């Protein structure tokens, strides 16, 4: 199923200094094919797209408990030059009081989030 992302919101991350570039980390040969398939899947679903940006962060591949791989970006260097956002995402404890009189709850499927 291809997701159709909404493109009506733009968010800019303010940074200090020139674009950061990190060389790609090597991926073990036995994991490479799984990582390639995961990216093909994410491109097909519209989650990500190929880029020629001057910014680059290395990948970090982690094994899940079920044996699948989780592909993550290592953004520590980017975070170190990013100006903090004045409007952060609310903390869970700050809005759980709104759930006190509710009887129906739902969970988010974080399998591919």
DSSP state of 34: H
Residue 12 belongs to a domain: no
**CA distance linking residue 68 with residue 88, whole number of Å:** 31
pLDDT by residue for the chain (113 residues), tens only, comes to 666 666 677 778 889 989 999 888 898 888 899 899 988 988 998 888 898 999 999 988 888 899 888 888 899 999 999 998 777 777 777 777 777 788 877 766 555 55
Tell me, what CATH number does 87's domain have?
Answer: 3.10.10.10
Residue 69 belongs to a domain: yes
Residue 24 belongs to a domain: no
What's the pTM value of the predicted model, to 2 decimals?
0.61
Residue 75 belongs to a domain: yes
Question: Which of 32, 42, 45, 34 minimizes the C-alpha distance to 68?
Answer: 34
Range of the domain at 77: 29-99
């Amino acid at each position: 199923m291809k997701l159709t992302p909404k493109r009506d919101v733009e968010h800019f991350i303010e940074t200090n200094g020139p674009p950061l570039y990190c060389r790609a980390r090597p991926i073990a040969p036995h994991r490479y094919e799984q990582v390639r398939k995961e990216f093909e899947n994410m491109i097909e679903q519209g989650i990500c797209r190929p880029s020629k940006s001057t910014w680059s962060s290395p990948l970090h591949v982690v094994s899940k408990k079920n044996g699948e791989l989780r592909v993550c970006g290592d953004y520590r260097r980017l975070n170190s030059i990013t100006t903090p956002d004045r409007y952060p995402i609310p903390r869970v404890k700050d809005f759980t009081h709104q759930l006190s009189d509710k009887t129906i709850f739902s969970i988010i499927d974080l399998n591919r989030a």
